[in-house]
Each structure stands twice: as C-alpha cells, then as structure tokens.
Structure 1
Amino acid sequence: RRKVAEQIHIGFGIDKNFGKFAGVTITSLVHNNIQHDLNIHIVYDQLLPEDMDRLKKTEQLYRNLNLHFYQITSTEGMTFVVPPGHITQAMYYRYLFAQMLPKAVKRLIYMDADIICKGDILPLWQTDLQGRVLGAVRDWGEEKSCVRIGLKNGRYFNSGVLLMDLVKWRQQHLTQKLFRWLEAVGSTKILWGDQDALNGVIDGDFVELPKKYNCIIINNTLLKAAQEDVIVHYIDYIKPWHIYCLDSDEKKLYWCYVKKSLWDDLQPMDGHTVDTTVMTARVLYKEGSYEKSVSYYEALLKYFFKDKYT
C-alpha cells in the first residue's frame, strides 16, 4: 500500500501570455515531486484555448496532479499600478487566492510562471511560519528597495515564490490592505508593483526562506543556479524563451523542461524593442547565424532611417 501522499497546494496568477510558461513550470514541478499530490490553483483573466487544452491534458498525464481554475471576471475595488516594462496586471492576481480559493485551502505556495522547479518542495511546504502570514526569500539588491519604499527594518523579499498562510491572510484582510497601499502610494515609488506593496504592508514581518527556494537568475550574469537550488527563478525581462537570451546552464535547464512538456513545439520568441532586436542580432552572430543576424541589423537601420536610404 502506498503511504498517503502529502497534499501540496501551489498557486499561479496568469494572463493569456503566460499559459504556456505556467505549463512548463508545472511540468517541472510534477517531474520532481512525483511522490506528493500537487494541487495547482490557477487564477487567470484569460487563457488561450490551446493552452487550456494542454494544461488539462497535462493533468491527465500525471496521477499526482490536480488543476483548479479560477477566472477573474471583475476587477472592481482593485487598484492595479502597472509600472512600465515587462510587468503586467496579472502580477497582482497573487493577492486574490485567499478570496478565490475554497476556505479548506489553508496554506499555499505561490509561484511566478518564469520558474523551473528542480527538486523536492516538501520541506518548503512544511516550513513553520511562526504565526506570520508569509514566508519568502530576501531579494537581490534589497537595500535600494528598502530606501525607495521607506522600509524601517532593512529586509525586502522577492515575491516570485511565497509561502502563504491563507487563514491569517483572510483574518488580516491583507488583500484590502494591499490595494489601499497601492492607492495611497500610487505610482510615486512603485518599481516592482505587487512586490513593493507586499513589502510595504508586511514591512519585514515575514519568515525568511532559504535562498534555494527562489534562486534568482539574470540572463548570463553572475547570478547563477547551484546544484542545491530547488527553485530557479528567471526574473529579468530577458527570459530563457527569448531568442536573445544568452546560452547558459540555466537556459539549457529551462529548455530541458520545455521538451518534457506538452509545449515542446515552443519556438524561441522575438522581442519588439530596439534593445531586444540588437540583442537578438548579437546572439545570432555569436551562434554563427550570420545571415539571420544581418537581417536584424538591416531591420534596425530601416527603422531608424524610416526607409529613407533603402
């Protein structure tokens, strides 16, 4: 007889652009946690039909996977301060688990959809929160963030992986407090949206999780994953699924799980800004695809000269 598997609850908050990436993250979770029952709660506004279809097929593939979907139909009473850049309104959906999930779900691991899990998450799930509402990993470059939003205690966490006590969250009316903070502070100090508000309201009163549960990776910099890291988080605006993401072990790790997933037909994506076009041209050149590289530079010249000389 199989001993009763541990029930682990994991949450994602996504929009239609992230259905496939959530699928890859979920594939990595299932592969490395086959001994536990994973209950995945997906809060979303819209999902592409083909992603919804593949998510449901993924669920059928694995005995230990259960998916639950919660569609946001109204955003009444919510203030979304969306900074310019790669951050979207969907980052605020992590605030909504306490109200959208059944009350029976008392604890949840929240994860961003730009993550690969490469190990056992049971120890993270079982972490003692010591009566606090959240557990999180301290952020890279936290001093600046503390100064920017005026935190007293000098501790600032990254909100890409959160262990949440949903009972306490509901008792403390945290969702309302977060939206009130966003309304009050508005776009004056906000750089990292949901993460700033969480830190602003919680102000250091969180349980610090080991770094291996949210190992921050930035495209080919000194921030790299180690053997013992369980959760690898690609935080930059350059993601491993972009053409112009430079080659690295972390990029290979990502594509390894793309190939294991039902999204194995995923093609590296193009950027639409001048920056990303230059990066793409450089990466293609480094890889020896000279003609392709030249075509990107040509496109840039056309764009800058508005076809005057071509």
Structure 2
Amino acid sequence: RSKVAEQIHIGFGIDKNFGRFAGITITSLAHNNIEHDLVVHIVYDEILPEDMERLLRTEQLYRNLQLHFYQITSTEGMTFVVPPGHITQAMYYRYLFADLLPPTVTRLIYMDADIICKGGILPLWQTDLQGKVLGAVRDYGEDRSCGRIGLKNGRYFNSGVLLMDLVKWRQQKLTQQLFRWLEQVGNTKILWGDQDALNGVIDGEFRELPNIYNGIVINNTTLNEALDLVIVHYIDYVKPWHIYYMDGNAKTLYWEYVKKSLWSDLKPQDGTTVQTAVMTARLLHKQGKYAESASYYEALLKYFLKDKYQ
C-alpha cells in the first residue's frame, strides 16, 4: 500500500435492472485499483434485494471499497424525457450527485453500468479540469449530434464517463439548468436523453479527456480494439451480457469480470424482439450450433404465421 492512498469518488445511477451490472463494473474497478480507496456512490430508485446483498458482500470482499447508497423516492421538479428504445429514466440520475452527496465530496468520476475498467484510474481522477465543470471523451458520431441539437462549436461528448467538479456544478446550479433545457428543448430534439441535455447546456465548455477513459465498443465492430483502453464502454442496446452479442475480445473481457464477481452465476440474457431473435440465430449458426439456430428461426416463423403454422 502506498504511503498515501488516494481516495477516489465514483458515482453510478441505476434502476433495478442494472444492480448486477453495476456490481460487475465495481468489481472491475476494485480489482484494478487495489492501492487506492474507492468510495462509490450509488444513486438508485430500486435495487433487487439479491443484488443489494451481493453489492454489500462485494464491499466486504475488497478492503479498498466503500459503498454509499442514495435512494430517490420523489422525482418532483425533474423533467425526464425518455426516448423510445433502451434508454431509461435512470440515465438522468447522473445529474443528481452534486445535490445528493455531502458537500465534502468535491469531485467525482461518474460511470455508466455497462463498463469494464481494466486499468488504473488515478490519472483520470487527478486530471486538471482547467476551470471547466466537466471532463469527458468526445463522442464518435459528433457531427450528427451537434447538428441535431444545434451546437455551434462542433464538439459533443459521450456522457458515459464524466469527471465532475461538484463545487462548480453546485455554484452553476447545473442540475436546474439541465432540467430547464429538457423542459424547453426536450421532446423536439432528444435522441440521447441525458447526454444531449448535458451537451446542450455545456456547449463545448468541457475538458477533453483521452479516449482510453471511455473506449466505446459497439457490438460487432472494433472501434477501439487497437487502443490500450483503461475503461471499456459497451454502448448500444446490444450488451455483452446478451446471448446474441458477437464473440470477440470485447465479449471475452466482459465475461472475465463476470466470473471474478459475485454475479458469476449470470446467464447470457435472451432478447424479446424479432431483431434479437434473428441476431441470436445468426450467431448460433456462426458458432456451428445449427439445431439451436434453426429453433430460433422456427420460433420466428411461428410468430409471423401465428395460427397458419401447423
């Protein structure tokens, strides 16, 4: 243990579907930052009892880990614009740390719960924000996003990993500004919820972080395979815990940490849409599991032909 162990504050905002995945992310953080004290703040509306129990056991397991929980019971005064698709109201919980955490917490690394941390985050934690309220990594579809929400500066960040100056956030009353933006602009332009509002309000005034701290991975593409990433972020609605996520390094990495975690009994999850059934069938076929693949196509036929299928 180094003489002075740095205390690093990390935040998650989740609902009941993400307790386990946050647990897997936290396991990866604790595992790869053993010489620093990680203080993890979890803002949530609901956590399943079995996930809560395992989160508390994870805290016991790692001596460098402390967990604090903040339950949201009322969402008064908050405008949630939830676009259709895989995004939920919980994505807006990242706005609430400045208000919910004690004022002694002056900076925070916020992370989505679809992340694996595979290295040390001290350099990220110690990054000089140069007077900005946020540090973030630029998003890969930035031109389209800037055009859509009308940003003039051409810089748009991904909100999955944020280094937050909570003192400045509180001074600027950023939470109110964000909910106001959502109220005014919300339903007209929103595609990526919390991320659009953050970009709309901050409008390019963020400290740019190196890509290794939010290495975006999308199912079946290798955007960042070449980079030596510290933080791997599985964006998109197809997650590495889905049956139909393509085989590759990114998937292998994810399941390595599932196995190290207290959620090692996690089973790959099945989808519920026609699209996911087709993806599953294709992947099984690619893996040489022809009979299983055929059973998915058969289920699709039954679904489309309803009673005509005998």
- SS of match in other structure, 2:176: helix
- Letter of the 2:39 partner, please give it: N
Higher mean C-alpha deviation, range 286-295 or range 129-138: 286-295
Contact 2:109 2:164 in 1 (8 A): yes
C-alpha distance in 2 between matches for 1:2 and 1:205 = 35
TM-score by length of 1: 0.98
| RMSD after superposition | 0.9
Where does 1:36-51 land on structure 2 (aligned, <5 Å)?
36-51=36-51
Contact 1:225 1:232 in 2 (8 A): no
- Letter of the 1:155 partner, please give it: R
Note the C-alpha offset of 1:219: 0.7
Note the C-alpha offset of 1:4: 2.3
- Letter of the 2:118 partner, please give it: K
> What is residue 270 of structure 1 aligned with on the other side?
270
CA deviations on 1:159-195 (whole Å, 9 max, x unpaired) are 0000000010011000000000000012111000000
Contact 1:224 1:250 in 2 (8 A): no
TM-score by length of 2: 0.98
C-alpha distance in 1 between matches for 2:259 and 2:70 = 27
Where does 1:217-296 land on structure 2 (aligned, <5 Å)?
217-226=217-226, 228-296=228-296
- Letter of the 2:302 partner, please give it: K
Identity percentage of aligned residues: 80
Note the C-alpha offset of 1:228: 2.0
C-alpha distance in 1 between matches for 2:175 and 2:303 = 44
> What is residue 86 of structure 1 aligned with on the other side?
86
C-alpha distance in 2 between matches for 1:213 and 1:225 = 14
CA deviations on 1:117-164 (whole Å, 9 max, x unpaired) are 000100000000111100000000100000000001000000000000
Where does 1:132-171 land on structure 2 (aligned, <5 Å)?
132-171=132-171
Structure 1 residue 17 corresponds to structure 2 residue 34: no
Contact 2:148 2:189 in 1 (8 A): yes
> What is residue 103 of structure 1 aligned with on the other side?
103
- Letter of the 1:290 partner, please give it: Y
Note the C-alpha offset of 1:306: 1.2
- Letter of the 1:95 partner, please give it: Y
- SS of match in other structure, 1:277: helix
- Letter of the 2:280 partner, please give it: T
> What is residue 305 of structure 2 aligned with on the other side?
305
> What is residue 70 of structure 1 aligned with on the other side?
70
- SS of match in other structure, 2:272: coil
Detail structure 1 runs of 4+ shifted over 6 Å in the superposition: none
Contact 1:23 1:261 in 2 (8 A): yes
Where does 1:118-137 land on structure 2 (aligned, <5 Å)?
118-137=118-137
- SS of match in other structure, 2:297: helix
Note the C-alpha offset of 1:288: 1.7
Alignment: residue pair count = 310
> What is residue 183 of structure 1 aligned with on the other side?
183
C-alpha distance in 2 between matches for 1:284 and 1:229 = 29
- Letter of the 2:288 partner, please give it: G
Note the C-alpha offset of 1:227: 5.2
Contact 1:159 1:195 in 2 (8 A): yes
- Letter of the 2:231 partner, please give it: I
C-alpha distance in 1 between matches for 2:2 and 2:169 = 34
> What is residue 115 of structure 1 aligned with on the other side?
115
C-alpha distance in 2 between matches for 1:223 and 1:169 = 32
C-alpha distance in 2 between matches for 1:48 and 1:305 = 38
> What is residue 206 of structure 2 aligned with on the other side?
206
Note the C-alpha offset of 1:2: 5.1
- Letter of the 2:115 partner, please give it: I
Structure 1 unpaired stretches of 5+? none
Cα 1:222–1:79 shift into 2, 3 Å = same
C-alpha distance in 1 between matches for 2:45 and 2:182 = 20
C-alpha distance in 1 between matches for 2:177 and 2:34 = 37
Contact 2:212 2:227 in 1 (8 A): no
- SS of match in other structure, 2:70: strand
- Letter of the 1:303 partner, please give it: Y
> What is residue 215 of structure 1 aligned with on the other side?
215
C-alpha distance in 1 between matches for 2:186 and 2:108 = 28
